[in-house]
Structure 1
Amino acid sequence: MLSASANAFRIAKRERRSGNLPEVLIWRELRKRPGGYKFRRQHPLGDVVLDFTCLERRVAIEIDGIAHERGDRPERDVRRDAWLDVRDFAVLRIPARYVLGNLEGAIAAIVSACDARSPLHHPSGGPLPRSGEA
């Protein structure tokens, strides 16, 4: 089961209100359900908040600004990615400058990452069998 801390919920709520330009542009496109996938924005999970996620395919999308290249952020991102990997999430990190320069390419990369993962639930081929049926 996926759960989140109270702190993660507070952070997610605050982040949904702010939003930087690359995230706003990505969200504008992800709301249209590219590839038929549903996405969530600023989704809390454990003690972390994912920029975007497709829960059906367990893909976490992180839009990394320049701050992710400084200080201890690269090491924190590696630990965070490992934590998500243990929970069967694939992490797709997209530089913010790439989003600003090639939004269509960023969306295509996200859809491709979702396509590459098996669905969490397989659609049924019809109604469930009745009691006593094979």
Structure 2
Amino acid sequence: MSTKLELPIQEFTTPYPVTAREDSSIEELLDIVKNIKVRHIPIMSDGKVIGIVSERDLRIASALSTREKFLVRAEDLMTPNPITFKGDTSIEDVITEMAEKKIGSVLVADEKGDLKGIFTVTDALDVLIEILRGKR
């Protein structure tokens, strides 16, 4: 008999994720990944999330010519309308959707849709470790 893990996602979310503007260059995004050591960057426009750029997207963009890199902006690379959950969504529902859709991160927002955090596969592994060690 299994029981559903009702822990809210907000307990495991990285708050206040590093974000970038839709007009950010590839170089700016690469600097964020390298210097801040994140793998997913929410892209913002007028205070709202419009997409997300992953480290993988940036690796692919690295194959562009120097001229192309100069012209490409975050909005050209991003995945639009990233999957977003409210903070009280159960961890099990979030992790299940991430596994089914094979995605590395989801965003967490409040009732108004304002970005509150990011939840990644690494965060999911941290949850698993806590459960295995009996801390949850």
Task: Provide TM-score, normalisation by structure 1.
Answer: 0.30
Higher relative strand content: 2
Q: Which has the larger radius of gyration?
A: 1
- Greater RCO (Cα-Cα under 8 Å, separation 6 or more): 2
Richer in helix (by share): 1
Structure 2 length as normaliser, TM-score?
0.30
